[in-house]
Amino acid sequence: MSRIVTIGAAQLGPIAPDESRASAVNRMIELLKQAGDRGCNFVVFPELALTTFFPRYYEEDISKMNHHYEREMPSAETRPLFEAAAERGIGFYLGYAELTPDGHRYNTAILVDETGKITGKYRKVHLPGHSEYDPNRPWQHLEKRYFEPGDLGFGVWRQHGGIIGMAICNDRRWPETYRVMSLKGAEVIVLGYNTPDVNTSAFEPNHLRMFHNHLTMQANAYMNSAFVVGVAKAGMEDGCMLIGGSCIIQPSGEIVSQVSSVDDELITYSADLDLAKMGKETVFNYAKHRRIEHYGTITTQTGVELPPELSEAAE
């Protein structure tokens, strides 16, 4: 029996530095309404969906950036989003900046079920960029200044009849992200991103920004036999162009739905979660084909030192 989940990828256009939370939430509620009209069960919003991408601005006193962070979720300003989703019976993924009661700062995402209950939390592990002002960049990328690496690991949660995992932006470029969740049974991996169309740390041809965005998600969808849903905040945001390219990828690695703009835009796809079984039970059947005990032999031949956890497994 097929397990069909209709997924919505809710891309947001740019959020200006002075745009209010209420405005951003209203934009997301409008996309939720569209999702409800199209029969969606689950909607994915971008990374840092409530604010502009504030790590592009340097502030010596980090506390002066506190207004960009959420101290509770839902808050008075974000509760209407939870209520609108619950009214329509739609679960969602939401990315935001988190400031904990004891003063820790994380780039965070939550998973919410169809009743409006938070069922999972993830904190971004692979923080890109730098921590101090760099005068050679046209704009900054200070995630290492404003966030700590996530401390929750790569979890998965049972929701909508399947197993869902979460990641955020730069996590999508690292194979460990997907493999850890896949080993835990993930059938759908959802992530939001805010990616500039220019690499300010080194020269990179512009066309590679979108190519690598899709390459990493498509390849890992295939190698881990999972749906991958990547959703952008896109467009010209306070002088910085953010790529769009939000898409839904099936376990074959094929893009089955993709946005056509860099504005607020909803795309949908009715995903049969049973499609994840084929790869997990055949080509990428870990129990049958993943030979950790032989990695030691391989690394001895190549001269590469085996990580401790694999050394133990190979003994």
Q: Which residues are catalytic?
A: 47, 124, 169
Q: How far apart are CA 247 and CA 245, in angstroms?
A: 6
CA quadruple 158, 163, 169, 171: dihedral sign: positive
Which long-range contacts (C-beta less than 8 Å, at least 24 apart) are formed by 153-157? 153/125, 153/180, 154/122, 154/125, 154/180, 154/181, 154/184, 155/120, 155/122, 155/181, 155/184, 156/181, 156/184, 156/185, 156/186, 157/111, 157/119, 157/120
Neighbouring CB atoms inside 10 A of 247's CB total 23
Identify the residue whose tokens are 């962070």.
69
Output DSSP code: residue 188.
E
Cα torsion 29, 33, 39, 44 to 10°: value is -20
88: phi then psi, degrees, rounded to nearest 5: -100, 0
Q: How far is CA 77 from CA 71, 215, 233, in A?
A: 12, 36, 20
Q: How far apart are CA 202 and CA 59, in angstroms?
A: 23
The H-assigned helical ranges of the chain are 21-37, 79-88, 143-146, 175-183, 207-223, 275-281, 286-289, 295-302, 308-314
